[in-house]
């Protein structure tokens, strides 16, 4: 075995694919990559935490001095408020995954988590200040200056972090170093998947397989770099972060023996599942009673029907109704003066688990007889829309009564938008996963709506995209995702003219 491993890997032709040097994914010769991921990533994460604490501390004090002047001294109570705000914000950023190693190198991911975490912290601080009465004793300009300074520093720290991550990635200092055991079509698909994911930051150090005959006949697909003993020897001499086992599930006896032997080396071992599992966006292994199970869909459905989501809905709906109640009264009067008919429009929709409920809106169209089985979607310059209805639909003010649906429990503030029963019957036959949208409560706004799929959906392709966005929301739900969607909705309503 002496020098056998080094000899096997010395040839550059052992690469599985020909890739550009600046690719996030690379296949490297052994010895060229001594992954320092376990050293650099924790350092980057901890540095970001310290930078965030310093940014928030600077923001709190600079905001005070900018407003009151540097000659003023800060009262003791205000010191306490600043430190409490820092703790809440850092915890909020942590819950929004700002310090997750999986997104530490992604600037869009960092900015998204910053928006959700910082936005959630500001909302919570305002709520605590309002309930405690502290907010009334503080000048809003101090808070505004503190928020602006803190936000600027937090943003700067993430841009700086992204610069350092890119620099370290080019030096292969934060790439995950992996080896693959198994030569088959699954191996090629794993490599292809890694190549397609531009921010994977993965380096493949080698591919191994015991079957000599397979190595001889499949050199066009992949050239394995050694046998199982070579793999063990290589791991003992080089740093490896993961071993991916790509053997087919039918080889269960072979996999069992292999995994027992691999457990003798201090490296994470991952068993790549059958390609059938790949079609599901999220897969989770859990212990169910006395045996493990593989959850492939709807793992977060019960959480979205749980207490936390319900508290969120009741709180947000109550705040909106209280704040907008005077406006709702004005809208009701305007509708009555503008055209004949009722103030509210009621329609049956499918809710959670396909249960039918009545949705409420402010009436925005003229009252006209419509065939029972026909439901026309509102289109641009629709003659049925009233004068006041045009503005109600443009700024989604016709949706305000749906917050009463939220209080009753028929709807959620965030979730897949409910469609008319006739539309559901039409699209069900065209889109297999269509009714997966009803695995949670329907929402007033949703992930599809803030991604450009608000308003009319005539083309089946557009509806299919909406369904995909809704399923993505269901499978990836968090409270912070809800908060992000609410913020994006506020921007979408005012700057995107797709509702009519």
The torsion angle over the Cα atoms of residues 457, 461, 463 and 469, rounded to 10 degrees, is -130
Tokens of 355: 């249960």
Distance between CA atoms of residues 349 and 359, nearest Å: 7
The pLDDT tens digits of the residues spanning 336-378 come to 888 888 999 999 999 999 999 999 999 988 776 655 555 555 5
Tokens of 302: 């019960």
Distance between CA atoms of residues 426 and 137, nearest Å: 57
State the DSSP string of 305-345.
TSHHHHHHHHHHHHHHHHHHHHHHHHHHHHHHHHSSS-SEE
The chain-wide mean pLDDT, for the chain, equals 78
Backbone angles phi and psi of 137, in degrees to 5:
-90, -5
What pLDDT is attached to residue 98? 85
Q: Integer distance in angstroms from the first to the last C-alpha of the chain?
A: 73
Residue 284's SS3 state is strand
Cβ proximity of 149 and 62 under 8 Å: yes
Question: Across 253-257, 284-288, 436-440, which has the greatest mean pLDDT?
Answer: 436-440
Question: Treating both helix axes as pointing N-terminal to C-terminal, what angle do 107-132 and 479-495 enclose, rounded to 10 degrees?
Answer: 90
- Average pLDDT for residues 155-183, to the nearest whole number? 81
Distance between CA atoms of residues 445 and 417, nearest Å: 6
Q: Which residues pair with 291 in a beta bridge?
A: 288
For residue 285, the 8-state DSSP code is E
The pLDDT tens digits of the residues spanning 153-163 come to 999 998 888 88
To the question of pTM greater than 0.85 for the whole model, the response is no
- Of how many residues is the chain composed? 500
Sign of CA dihedral 182, 183, 185, 187: positive
The torsion angle over the Cα atoms of residues 67, 70, 75 and 78, rounded to 10 degrees, is 50
């Amino acid at each position: 075995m002496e020098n056998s491993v080094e000899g096997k890997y010395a040839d550059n032709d052992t690469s599985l694919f020909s890739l550009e040097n600046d690719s996030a994914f690379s296949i490297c010769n052994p010895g060229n990559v001594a992954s320092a991921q376990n050293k650099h990533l924790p350092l980057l994460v901890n540095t970001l935490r310290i930078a965030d604490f310093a940014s928030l501390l600077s923001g709190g004090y600079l905001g005070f001095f900018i407003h009151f002047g540097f000659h003023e001294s800060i009262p003791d109570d205000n010191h306490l408020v600043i430190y409490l705000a820092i703790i809440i914000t850092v915890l909020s950023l942590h819950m929004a995954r700002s310090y997750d190693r999986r997104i530490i190198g992604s600037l869009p991911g960092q900015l998204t988590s910053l928006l959700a975490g910082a936005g959630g912290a500001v909302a919570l601080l305002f709520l605590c200040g309002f309930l405690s009465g502290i907010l009334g004793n503080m000048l809003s300009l101090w808070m505004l200056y503190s928020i602006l300074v803190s936000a600027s520093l937090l943003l700067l720290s993430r841009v700086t972090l992204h610069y350092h991550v890119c620099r370290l990635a080019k030096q292969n200092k934060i790439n995950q170093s992996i080896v693959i055991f198994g030569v088959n079509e699954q191996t090629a698909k794993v490599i292809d998947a890694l190549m397609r994911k531009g921010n994977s930051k993965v380096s493949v150090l080698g591919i191994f397989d015991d079957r000599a005959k397979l190595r001889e006949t499949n050199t066009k697909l992949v050239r394995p770099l050694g046998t199982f003993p070579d793999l063990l020897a290589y791991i003992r001499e080089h740093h490896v972060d993961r071993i991916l086992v790509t053997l087919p599930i039918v080889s269960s006896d072979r996999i069992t023996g292999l995994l027992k032997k691999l457990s003798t080396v201090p490296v994470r071992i991952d068993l790549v599942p059958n390609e059938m599992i790949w079609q599901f966006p999220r897969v989770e292994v859990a212990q169910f009673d006395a045996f493990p199970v593989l959850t492939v869909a709807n793992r977060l459905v019960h959480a979205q029907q749980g207490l936390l989501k319900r508290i969120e809905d009741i709180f947000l709906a109550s705040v909106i109704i209280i704040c907008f109640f005077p406006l709702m009264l004005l809208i009701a009067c305007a509708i009555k003066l503008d055209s004949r008919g009722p103030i509210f429009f009621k329609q049956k929709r499918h809710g959670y688990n396909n249960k039918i409920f009545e949705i409420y809106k402010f009436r925005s169209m003229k009252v006209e007889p419509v065939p029972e089985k026909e439901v026309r979607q509102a289109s641009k310059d629709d003659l049925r829309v009233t004068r006041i209805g045009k503005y109600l639909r443009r700024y989604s003010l016709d949706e305000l009564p749906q917050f009463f649906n939220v209080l009753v429990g028929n709807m959620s503030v965030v979730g897949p938008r409910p469609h008319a029963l006739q539309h559901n019957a039409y699209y069900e036959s065209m889109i297999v996963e269509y009714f997966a949208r009803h695995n949670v409560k329907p929402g007033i706004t949703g992930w599809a709506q803030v991604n450009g799929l608000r308003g009319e959906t005539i083309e089946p392709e557009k509806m299919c995209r909406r369904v995909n966005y809704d399923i993505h929301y269901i499978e990836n739900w968090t409270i912070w995702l809800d908060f992000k969607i609410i913020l994006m909705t506020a921007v979408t309503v005012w700057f995107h003219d797709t509702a009519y």
